[in-house]
Structure 1
Amino acid sequence: FTEIRQKIFEIIIKYKKPIKAYEILDVFTEVTGKRAHPPTIYRAIDFLIENGFIHKLNSINSYVGCFHPKVHKECYFLICKICNIYKECCDKNLTENIFKSANKRDFIVSNTTLEIEGHCNDCIQK
């Protein structure tokens, strides 16, 4: 890791909820005392995604750490629509079924980020 990639990875991992790129930029500046340009942050984010260290949650345009890097491509996410808390879940059978279904339809999958939105128990109880 470069110093910037390492710091951005630490920021994402330590953040308890999904974090947006400009929030990462703000925290990076606060923690390091250095102002990075957005393209620098995005390049580091892209590297971290490509190498299985983090995930992008497209539905909320945010990033989260990958807590199952050995099965990075077999994960799906449960995302609370109220508080944005998320759960990373891994299911090899689900992923295999998606790939099989796509292959039957002459489709090659390049990304299997599956996001399921709903409400967490804490928000339901409120």
Structure 2
Amino acid sequence: MGGHHHHDFAGEKLVLAARGALLDAGEQWTEMRADVFEALAHCEKPASAYDIAESVGNRRGKRVAANSVYRILDLFVRTNLARRVESANAYLANSHPGCRHDCIFLICDTCGAATHIDDDRLTGALRAAAQDAGFAEVRPVVELRGVCRRCGEGEE
């Protein structure tokens, strides 16, 4: 299995890739969904629904309810446009929305940055263990917490 190659999108290309993936999933790309995705795509680190609601509200010039943002984020996670960092109750845009695979997050306890890595051998072993235990439709989400290189170098 091992790693595989995919294109990481950014900026306008990421928004277009996300729009295409959502339409392919039979969903509509509404103005609100576009605004939420755009706000999410501009976040350097995982963002909460409240952060995104505030950002979209500022852009629109009127308050946006976090509940409606939650619903959109859940849709984005289901359709592979975003990833949810469970331990932080926060979300990240998926930089390759057309590509489905398991995710491993490395999350810095100091600055909150999240790095996403792929290791199909590791997630494949987790998937196999779950299937051996009688689970189907398994979606491994692995989160490892520690200190990133940038923060670690500042501790000398």
- Tell me the TM-score normalised to structure 1 length: 0.91
- How far apart are 1:109 and its partner, in Å? 4.9
**Paired residue for 1:84, among 98, 112, 116?**
112
Distance in structure 2 (CA, Å) of the matches to 1:80 and 1:56: 16
**Partner Cα separation in structure 1 for residue 36 and residue 61 of structure 2:** 14
CA distance, structure 1, for counterparts of residue 118 and residue 103 of structure 2: 4
Deviation at 1:30, TM superposition (A): 0.6
Which sits farther off after the overlay, 106-115 or 57-66? 106-115
Give % identity: 29
Structure 1 gaps of 5+ residues are none
Aligned pair count? 126
CA deviations over 1:60-115 (Å, ceiling 9, x no partner): 11110112334443221111011011111112222221111111222335431111
Measure, in 2, the Cα distance between the counterparts of 1:66 and 1:51: 10
**1:62-101 equivalences in 2 (<5 Å):** 62-101=90-129
Q: Which runs of 5+ in 2 are unaligned?
A: 1-28
Answer whether contact 1:79 1:119 (CA < 8 A) is retained.
Answer: yes
Q: Following the alignment from structure 1 to structure 2, what is the Cα–Cα distance between the partners of residues 100 and 122?
A: 35
Residue 105 of structure 1 is aligned with which of 133, 143, 149? 133
Letter in 2 for 1:104: D
What is the identity, as a one-letter code, of the residue corresponding to 2:53? L
User: What is the RMSD of the two structures over their aligned residues, measured on CA atoms?
Assistant: 1.5
Instruction: Select between 52-61 and 27-36 the one with higher mean Cα deviation.
Output: 27-36
Distance in 1 (alpha carbons) for counterparts of 2:66 and 2:148: 32
